[in-house]
Structure 1
Amino acid sequence: MKLTRLLTRKLTGFWLLSLAAVAFIFLLTALVSFAQLTYKFQQQKVSEIESMLVHHYEHDSDRDLSSWLPSILAAYKASKFQLLENGQVVYEYQADAADKGHVTYESVLIKDRHLKLSMTLPQPFQMYDLSWYELLILSGGIISVAFFVRFGHQWLSVQLVGIEDLAARSKLILNNEYEQALAEKGHGKPRMINRALTHMLLELDDAQKQRARFDQFIRSNTFLDPETGIGNRLFLKNRLDALSNDRGMMAPGVMFLLEMEDLDLLQQEVADESIDALLLQTINDINQILDTQANSIFARRSYNQFAIVVPQISLKDAEKLAVKLLKVCLSQALPTTQNSDDFYHIGVAYFKVGESKEQLLDESERALRAAQFQGSSGWFMYDKGAVDEEFAKGSVRWRSFLEYALVNRRLVVFSQPVVDSDMETHHFEISSRIRDNQDNLIRATLYIPMAIKCGLTPQFERQVIETVLFDLLNDRSDTTTRYSVNLSLDTLLSRAFIRWLKTTLLEYRHLTSRLIFEVNEDIVVHHREQLKDHLDMIRKMGASLCVDRVGQEVVSTQYIQECHFDLIKLHRSIVRQIHLRQENQLFVRSLIGGLYRTDVQVFADGVESFEEWQTLKILGVSAGQGSIFSDPIEEI
């Protein structure tokens, strides 16, 4: 833009200088022509006097010169006149007043008689005065030239402003800011080029939306059940893989297996429309219950069997949730041919950290069979005495403990590197744990659900950010290391936290560029309008934005560009054994292809093997994070 404005000023300056030069040359030429013309007129007058004197001496020598010559010399405004013959003055004329600036003409009239003439006249152009009419015409011409020059300058400036608008839109396009370029249509000229840019931007925007819809279509056909719209068996397998590693499940939780007894036989008795309506209504009601459970999984295992996995939930809350699910199922209107008293059966298996997903599925199926043996609709929990004692604490004890940890700053910060394809550390992701009075560390998967339940999440995440700013980024010898911090929904919707964050980022704006704030994809998709202003504020302060757990749900990726995220992290379910799963590779290819020509970088979370990392790099993933590089390391 600066170059365009500079060229515009140079062009207008050159144009004005050219016009001024033309006007100057025109006036100079007119002045020279006027001087030459008056000089030529004066020479003609001198030639007329010479002719009259020659005629006098050749044909009318008896007549006295004083009788006719003085009047002619006075008419010509001659100041001095001498006529010499053989060196003797024959006639002499002297004007009363002699003015400055004269021209003297000398010539030989008759060579035989040595008759010479010497006459002094005023400067030719001094003999002519401009009249008021001539002055009026000259002034009008100068004013007209000035007016047209001014009008031309304004017209050219307007035309060049249109070119500057085109240059501004072009710069936005080159910076991949397509939405802003489309919003600033301006008054670019030539208008045809401006309209062409607008048309191309609209086509590009539509193509991006089509690409996002195509990505969603691919993911839907890969991971969704076509009849119900929830996850399929492959989706459930991927999500369970994401919740576990080689050492088993990474967080406690519960798994429900819901089976509708003899649904296939019922389909033969009633119309397919009735069965579809029953399934959709049941699924919608269950989804409303699961909306309150973060990171819950709902998938269809077979025609009449559904799986629900809720991580980070206590045993007491799992029992309450089982009662709610059964109540919702029993409230459904079944066909008159079917008795609801023995139609819905729910098997419940509670799992803790370290248990295998195979064991979990086996215990869930055993619990389902036990529920079916009861002879009526109901639920049954597989009891193996494996409830995590720490997680079974009451809410009152948890609140007291968490408030004590906040006041006494018992929060312990861990960092895990995110490594790029050159094995260089891109940034460190920050996680936290709490140290209790017995000097034991309570993992985040245990205390965060209770912090959310007690409404203390913003305070904990604020303390994490303060630790990063005041301790980790305070090392003056290190000015390049970056850190990422996770923000939850409760934190982003807290007005007090947002005000504090805005003030803190302004105060430490020299460190803001080294901060990355991560938000879950599920939060962004379902609360985009509520979070858009807050995320935009963080980005304008200079920090980077990252959306993690991408691929956890089947949603359109259009939000990535709408919310201007800088980084995205693939969910563990996509990364786990990706070298063996073509459908996950297809998703990653489609996602990266949709982000072509943007500055968004794609990272992977949960990389645990060399084969996974090699496959991710081949697919175009920029960096990875996981146990293959380093486990979380305690910082403070």
Structure 2
Amino acid sequence: MKLTKILTKKITSFWLLSLAAVAFVFLLCAFISVIQLTYVFQQQKVTQLETMLVEQGKLQQSSPLSTWLPPVLSAYGAVHFTLSQGDNVIYEYHPDEHYVTNSRLTRYQSKLENGQQILLIMPPPFTVNHLGWSELGILVIGFVAIGFFVRFGYAWYSRELDGIEQLALRSKLILEGDLVQAAQVPTNGKPRMINRAITKLLADLDDAHKERGRLDQFIRKDTFLDKQTQIGNSIFFQNRLDALSHNQKMIAHGVLMLIEFDDMDLVEEALGESGLKAMFTLTTEAITTILAQYEGSIFARRSYQQLVIVIPQLSLAEADQLAQRVLKTCLALPFYGLGNPDNFLHLGSAFFKAGDLQVQLIEEAEMALRAAQLQRVNNWFMYDKGAVDEEIAKGSVRWRSFLENALVSKRFFTLQQAVVDSDNNILHYEVFSRARDNQGNDVRATLFIPMANKCGLMPQIERQILEQVLFGLMVNNHATYCINLSLDTLVSRAFIRWIQSTLLEHRPLAARLIFEVSEDIVVKHQANPALVKALDMLKKMGAKLAVDHVGQHVVGTHYIQEHHFDLVKLHRSIVRQVHQRSENQLFIRSLIGGLYRAEVKVIAEGVECFEEWQTLKILGVSAAQGEYLDQITGSAS
């Protein structure tokens, strides 16, 4: 772009210089022509005088020279005249003697036909003629006209070159990958045909990106969604359940529910395939509406006649209430008279805690489902092992009191996990939070974050964590840190004002921060102006943006480029056993292919073995984090 401006200035300067040179040559030639013309005119006068003298000498009765010659010489402007015959001077005229010695005078000497010689001294012809007011006026008008036309030509030439500079600016933005800004540049570039072609190509490229996002979403739907119900299929369910476990042990508490419809063959025979699809559609829509209030819930179709629900961070009492509500809602749907209406729907639930085996959990849910079916009525059954974690039993009031005391006493602290690239070099650290109770025991984030969201305390907690990172971790090193922000924090005016003023005061630290947002938040609330404004502000401050839990839900990926995210983190359900799951590999290839021309790095979280890491590198994943990489780098803390 700078080179284009330099060339534009050079071309403009060359044009002006050429025009000035042409004007100078034109004026010089005109001046020389005028001088030459005056000399020719004066020479003609001298020739006429010679002719007059010869004719006068031929006449016998001629008047004396003193009678008619002085007025003629005076009219010619002569300063000296001598007419001689040999050594005899016949007539001499010199009105002003001192002019004779002036070297600038023009001397004419010639010999007439009758043998007489003349010497005529006259001033230079161009000094005799003086410009009048009319001539000066015409000259001024001419110079003004020339200046006007030069100015007009310069303005026209500059406008034409401005169009070329705009084309150069758009080309520069395209080469830098900023296609949105290139499309927003004023479209008056020249040549106009090239400018319109660039505009059309940018529009086609934008549509191609959207089409790639739609294709990516189609691949994800075809891989992870049930075609009949449009909810997760068995692969989706297993991936998400694996993400909730570590070494086949659950990492948090919650509930797993199995919903099974009996006599599906009779229902299909009575309603047909379209009627059966309508029944499942109504059922899944009703259950989805119920689950909307539960964050992180999993809803999928496990088999032909069985649905499954998994909700983490749910207490035993809340699980009982949810089972009753789901059963009541499903039975209220218009399916009576099909098969056996009193023994048509059964629900089996199994409550799990951190440390419970995944295989055992599924077996317990199936046992609860069989127990409900044995009652031979539409019913539900909860498999209860009789032991509930004390942390889970805390009520909302006790949780609020605990969190507020922890904030006042500053009992929240941070843990770090390294994110490494394909060469096992540390790129940055992700920061996790923990809380400490009055007895000095650590409370996991998976326990207090859901309750903090319910109590509206996440902005205060995340501000305290961010203060520890800015004024604690970042003081003694030059590392980059990644911090997760919740929706409540991003739309909190108080937090946004604080983080904006803090980053303005400590501007160098902003470049070493990565703010991470969940994909679910971005997709569901991307129309929220407060969220969009907050993300844009963090980006302009110099911080990077990351979106995590990508792949947890089946959504398009166009939002990644719309909000200018720098990093994309794959959900652990996509990463887990990726070397054995071709569906997950297809999703990762599709995601990386869609982001090929964007400056976005794809990162995997939850890498637990060598095979997973090797497969991810082959697929094109830029970096990863997890227990396996912590063992290699020795950076877990």
Per-residue deviation, 1:85: 4.5
1:334-353 alignment runs, 5 A limit: 334-353=335-354
Q: Is the 8 A contact 1:102 1:120 kept in 2?
A: no
Q: How far apart, CA to CA, are the structure 2 residues paired with 1:392 and 1:307?
A: 25
After superposition, the C-alpha distances for 1:446-503 in whole angstroms (9 at most, x for unaligned) are 111121222211111111111111111223xx33x11110011222232322222222
The within-5 A match list for 1:25-36 is 25-36=25-36
Q: What does 1:93-172 correspond to in 2, within 5 Å?
A: 93-95=93-95, 102-109=104-111, 116-172=117-173
Q: Which position in structure 1 is the counterpart of 2:357?
A: 356
Residue of structure 1 in register with 2:380 after alignment: 379
Distance across 2 between alignment mates of 1:331 and 1:242: 33
TM-score normalised by length of structure 2: 0.94
What are the residue-to-residue correspondences of 1:295-314 with 2, within 5 Å? 295-314=296-315
Map of 2:47 onto structure 1: 47
Pairwise CA distance, 1:338: 4.3
Indicate yes or no: 2:471 matched with 1:470: yes
Change (3 A) 1:247 1:303: closer
1:195 is displaced (CA, Å) by 1.2
The whole-number CA distance in structure 2 between the counterparts of 1:429 and 1:521 is 17
Q: For residue 249 of structure 2, what is the aligned residue in structure 1? A: 248
Alignment partner of 1:519 is 2:520: no
Structure 1 counterpart of 2:496, one-letter code: I
> CA–CA distance in 2 between the matches of 1:337 and 1:453?
41
CA distance in 2, matches of 1:254, 1:415: 29
Q: Distance in 2 between matches of 1:372 and 1:48?
A: 141
How many Å apart are 1:112 and its aligned residue?
11
Residue in structure 2 matched with residue 194 of structure 1 by the alignment: 195
Q: 1:510-544: per-residue Cα shift (whole Å, max 9, x none)?
A: 21111111111111111111122221121112111
Alignment of 1:256-405 (within 5 A): 256-405=257-406
Distance 1:216 1:11 in 2: 51
- Superposed, 1:436-515 pairs within 5 Å as 436-475=437-476, 478-479=477-478, 481-515=479-513
Query: Could you tell me how far 1:589 is from its partner in structure 2?
Result: 1.0
> What's the counterpart of residue 620 of structure 1?
620
Structure 2: gaps of 5 or more residues: none
Contact 1:106 1:116 in 2 (8 A): no
Query: Matches of 2:177 and 2:350 in 1, distance apart?
Result: 50
> Would you say the 8 A contact 1:256–1:349 is kept in 2?
yes
Maintained 8 Å contact 1:313/1:449: no
How far the C-alpha of 1:88 sits from its partner, in A, is: 4.9
When residues 296 and 590 of structure 1 are mapped into structure 2, their CA distance, relative to the original with a 3 A threshold, is same
Does structure 2 retain, via aligned residues, the 8 Å contact 1:208–1:594?
Answer: yes
Equivalent AA in structure 2 for residue 591 of structure 1: L
Write the distance in 2 (CA, Å) between the matches of 1:61 and 1:52.
Answer: 15
Which amino acid is 1:436 matched to? Answer: D
For residues 101 and 333 of structure 1, do their structure 2 counterparts lie closer, same or farther at Cα, with a shift above 3 Å needed? farther
For 2:392, what is the secondary structure of its paired residue?
coil
Q: Displacement of 1:131 after TM fit?
A: 4.5
CA distance in 2, matches of 1:374, 1:39: 134
Match of 2:317, as an amino acid?
K
Aligned residue type for 1:414? L
Question: For this pair of structures, how many residues does the alignment match?
Answer: 631
CA distance in structure 1 between the aligned counterparts of 2:613 and 2:398, rounded to whole angstroms: 43
| Mapped partners of 1:127, 1:154: distance in 2 | 42
- 2: CA distance, partners of 1:369 / 1:261: 12
What is the aligned-residue identity percentage?
56
Q: Is the 8 A contact 1:215 1:591 kept in 2?
A: yes
Question: In the TM superposition, what is the alpha-carbon distance from 1:275 to its structure 2 partner?
Answer: 2.3
Give the deviation of 1:61 after TM superposition. 10
2:632 paired with 1:602: no
> Can you give the 5+ residue segments of structure 1 that lack an aligned partner in the other structure?
none
Equivalent residue letter for 2:550: V
Moved more, 416-425 or 177-186: 177-186
User: Which 10-residue stretch deviates more, 45-54 or 367-376?
Assistant: 45-54
CA contact (8 A) 1:350 1:387 kept: no
Post-superposition Cα deviations, 1:547-591, rounded to whole Å, max 9, x if no partner, equal: 001111111111111111111001111111111211111111111
Alignment-derived partner of residue 544 in structure 1: 544
Which of the residues 526, 529, 536 maps onto 1:528?
A: 526
Amino acid at match of 2:33: S
- Shift of the 182–335 alpha-carbon distance from structure 1 to 2, 3 Å rule, reads farther
Question: Following TM superposition, by how much is the alpha carbon of 1:339 offset from its aligned partner in structure 2, in angstroms?
Answer: 4.7
Q: Aligned runs of 1:621-636 on 2, under 5 Å?
A: 621-630=621-630
RMSD, matched Cα: 2.3
Residues in 2 aligned to 1:97 and 1:332: alpha-carbon distance in whole angstroms: 134
SS of equivalent residue, structure 1 residue 238: helix
| Structure 1 Cα separation of the partners of residues 117 and 409 of structure 2 | 126
Equivalent-residue separation in structure 1 for 2:56 and 2:98 (angstroms): 28
Following the alignment from structure 2 to structure 1, what is the Cα–Cα distance between the partners of residues 342 and 60?
Answer: 156
SS, match of residue 604 in structure 1: strand
Letter paired with 1:105: R
The answer to whether the 8 A contact 2:418-2:635 is kept is no
CA separation in 1, counterparts of 2:23 and 2:288? 82
Partner amino acid, structure 2, of 1:180: Q
